[in-house]
Chains A and B, each alone.
Chain A
Amino acid sequence: MGVFDPVIELSRGLGEVLRTFLFEPTVTVQYPEEKRAVRPRFRGRHVLKRYENGLEKCIGCSLCAAACPSDAIFVEASENTDEKRFSPGQRYASTYEINMLRCIYCGFCEDACPTEAIVLGDNYELSFTDRRDAIYTKDFLLEPVPTGELLTPRKVDVGVFTRSVPEMKDPTD
Chain B
Amino acid sequence: MDWTIWVEWIVKGAVLCLILLTGFAYLTLYERRALARMQVRVGPNRAGYQGLLQPIADAVKLIFKEELTPAKVYKPIFFLAPILTVVPSLVIAAVIPLGTSFNLFGRVINLYVANLNVGVLYLTSIASIAVYGIVLAGWSSNNKYAMLGGIRSSAQMISYELTLGLAFAIAIVLGNSMNLADIVAAQKNLWFVMIQPVGALIFLIAVLAEVNRAPFDMPEAEQELTAGYHAEYSGMKFALFFMAEYQKMIVVCMIAATLFFGGYREFWFLKDTFFSVDRFWFLGPIYLLLKVVVLLFFMIWIRATWPRIRYDRLMAFGWKILLPLSLAVVFITATGILLAQELNNQLFLWGIPLLSILCALAAVVFIYRDLRRKSHGRV
| Chain A residues packing against B (C-beta within 8 Å) | 1, 3-7, 10, 13-14, 16-18, 20-21, 24-28, 30
Report the separation of the CA atoms of residues A7 and B367 in the bound assembly, to the nearest whole angstrom: 10
- B360 to chain A minimum Cβ distance, whole angstroms, is 10
- B367 to chain A minimum Cβ distance, whole angstroms, is 6
Give the segment of B47-55, B223-231, B298-306 that binds chain A. Answer: B298-306
* B34 at interface, CB cutoff 8 A: yes
The 8 closest A-B pairs by CB, nearest first: A28-B42, A17-B305, A13-B305, A21-B38, A3-B368, A26-B42, A17-B38, A17-B304
Do residues A6 and B302 form an inter-chain contact, with CB atoms below 8 A?
A: no
Report B-chain residues with C-beta under 8 Å of the C-beta of A24: 40
Report the separation of the CA atoms of residues A112 and B68 in the bound assembly, to the nearest whole angstrom: 54
Known: A3-B365, A7-B364. 8 other contacts (CB 8 A): A1-B372, A3-B368, A13-B305, A17-B38, A21-B301, A25-B40, A26-B41, A26-B42
Do residues B37 and A6 form an inter-chain contact, with CB atoms below 8 A?
A: no
B residues contacting the other copy or chain, number (CB 8 A): 19
Report the separation of the CA atoms of residues A152 and B25 in the bound assembly, to the nearest whole angstrom: 59
Secondary structure type dominating chain B contacts: helix
Do residues B306 and A10 form an inter-chain contact, with CB atoms below 8 A?
A: yes
Report B-chain residues with C-beta under 8 Å of the C-beta of A27: 40-41
Report the separation of the CA atoms of residues A10 and B41 in the bound assembly, to the nearest whole angstrom: 23
Residue from A4, A7, A14, A26 within 8 A of B301 (CB atoms): A14
Mark out the residues of chain B between 70 and 89 whose CB falls within 8 Å of any chain A CB in the assembled complex.
none
Report the separation of the CA atoms of residues A121 and B364 in the bound assembly, to the nearest whole angstrom: 62
Q: Mark B30-66, 1 if CB is under 8 A from A, else 0.
A: 0000101111111000000000000000000000000
Report B-chain residues with C-beta under 8 Å of the C-beta of A10: 305-306
Do residues B368 and A5 form an inter-chain contact, with CB atoms below 8 A?
A: yes
Closest to A20 in B: B38
List 29 A–B pairs whose Cβ atoms lie within 8 Å, in order of A's numbering.
Answer: A1-B371, A1-B372, A3-B364, A3-B365, A3-B368, A4-B368, A6-B364, A6-B368, A6-B371, A13-B306, A14-B301, A14-B305, A17-B38, A17-B304, A17-B305, A18-B301, A20-B39, A20-B40, A21-B34, A21-B37, A24-B40, A26-B36, A26-B41, A26-B42, A27-B41, A28-B40, A28-B41, A28-B42, A30-B42
Report the separation of the CA atoms of residues A6 and B302 in the bound assembly, to the nearest whole angstrom: 15
Closest to A7 in B: B364
Report the separation of the CA atoms of residues A138 and B52 in the bound assembly, to the nearest whole angstrom: 44
Report A-chain residues with C-beta under 8 Å of the C-beta of B304: 17
Report the separation of the CA atoms of residues A140 and B218 in the bound assembly, to the nearest whole angstrom: 56
Report the separation of the CA atoms of residues A173 and B105 in the bound assembly, to the nearest whole angstrom: 91
Report A-chain residues with C-beta under 8 Å of the C-beta of B368: 1, 3-6
Report the separation of the CA atoms of residues A21 and B367 in the bound assembly, to the nearest whole angstrom: 29
Report B-chain residues with C-beta under 8 Å of the C-beta of A20: 37-40
Closest to A19 in B: B38
- B297 to chain A minimum Cβ distance, whole angstroms, is 9
Q: Mark B187-205, 1 if CB is under 8 A from A, else 0.
A: 0000000000000000000
Do residues A14 and B302 form an inter-chain contact, with CB atoms below 8 A?
A: yes
Report the separation of the CA atoms of residues A1 and B304 in the bound assembly, to the nearest whole angstrom: 25
Report the separation of the CA atoms of residues A5 and B40 in the bound assembly, to the nearest whole angstrom: 27
Report A-chain residues with C-beta under 8 Å of the C-beta of B39: 20
Report B-chain residues with C-beta under 8 Å of the C-beta of A4: 364, 368
Q: Mark B231-247, 1 if CB is under 8 A from A, else 0.
A: 00000000000000000
Closest to A11 in B: B305
Report A-chain residues with C-beta under 8 Å of the C-beta of B365: 3
Report B-chain residues with C-beta under 8 Å of the C-beta of A14: 301-302, 305
Do residues B38 and A6 form an inter-chain contact, with CB atoms below 8 A?
A: no
Report A-chain residues with C-beta under 8 Å of the C-beta of B42: 26, 28, 30
- B122 to chain A minimum Cβ distance, whole angstroms, is 33
Report A-chain residues with C-beta under 8 Å of the C-beta of B40: 20, 24-28
Report B-chain residues with C-beta under 8 Å of the C-beta of A13: 305-306
Closest to B365 in A: A3
